[in-house]
Amino acid sequence: MLQPMTADSPDRLRLGLAHRGWLGDYLLMTAGAAAMAFGVSSLLLPAHLADGGLTGVAIILHYLTGFGVGSLYAGLNVPLLTWAWFTQGPRFLWRTVVGVALVSAWMAVFAPVHLQLGDRLLAALYGGLLVGSGIGVILRVGGSTGGTDILARYLHGRAGWSYSRTFLLTDVAVLAGVAVWVGLPAAMYAWIATNVAGRVVAFVVEGPRRGRLALVVTGRPEHVLHRVVEELGRGGTRLWASGAYTGRPRPLLLVAVSQQEVARLRGIIHAEDPRAFLVVLPATEVLGEGFGLLASGGHPDSDGPPRNSPW
């Protein structure tokens, strides 16, 4: 019998997804790998395009040698995985090995499927969308697709490099190779596909729960907090801080709001204290009452066998 949707149905749904267990994680990794492989094999390759990272290297080698992209992708990952075993330990590798194997297998499955869209721009956009969606789903459940992820993690831990710096440098190198061996137009479309994929990955991994964290220094903290609670339905935290110039203690308010509520919050603060000091920071993810359930959706730092897994 169908049950009517209630106000807490979305929260119950999110809670169910968060507690899907290891089997659900691997099913989602399989679906994500299929989406990524379809974007590469069935959309980018028929349009003679490429992608960034190690996938792009495999595609370039495919154009030069004729070998299958899936086999090349797996082969290129073998030395990286072996190196990571000795430098980062087996705990990191578990879901990375699974992710690489799934992506390579799906690439072989979709190799005969060629979608001719008749427009390289459309192929770059749709290919980037599918590749980004697939990678995002895999990362969301704590998996990895190998490649430059391994290098980025190593350089982050040993040299302090940011992940974005490593990805940017490797993508630039790969796109330069595309320009040399495939052509300048293909390099431009590959850049478009890579950017689309990156934005989709960020959205899938971080979700629509991005928010803003407001830091407020005001002489009327109680009035501001009262209106935040009454008009925005949000809470807040009051801390004590001291100014660098005067040294006097002042109340510091922390208020988490959605992006759409920033303007209203600014109006409340201006109305109560025009001389208040306001800093609004981007919050990658906001969880808790009023935003979403505080529940783990994956195991980003645990690439070993998940708990209660028979693997």
- pLDDT band at residue 270 under the 50/70/90 scheme: very high
* Residues 144, 102 contacting (CB under 8 angstroms): no
What digits encode the pLDDT tens for the residues 229-263?
988 888 898 998 887 888 888 899 999 988 778 89
What digits encode the pLDDT tens for the residues 163-217?
778 888 999 999 999 999 999 999 999 999 999 998 898 888 776 666 889 999 9
Collect all residues with Cβ–Cβ distance below 8 Å to 135 and sequence separation of at least 6.
Answer: 32, 36, 145, 197, 201, 204
* Residues 232, 261 contacting (CB under 8 angstroms): yes
- For the question of whether the overall pTM of this predicted structure is more than 0.85, the answer is no
**pLDDT for 307:** 34
Collect all residues with Cβ–Cβ distance below 8 Å to 190 and sequence separation of at least 6.
Answer: 49, 50, 51, 52, 56, 124, 175, 178, 182
- pLDDT band at residue 126 under the 50/70/90 scheme: very high
> Mean pLDDT over residues 82-107, rounded?
87
* Residues 132, 197 contacting (CB under 8 angstroms): yes
The domains located in the chain, with CATH, are 19-206 (no CATH), 211-283 (3.30.70.120)
The residue among 204, 228, 208 whose CA lies nearest residue 216 is 228
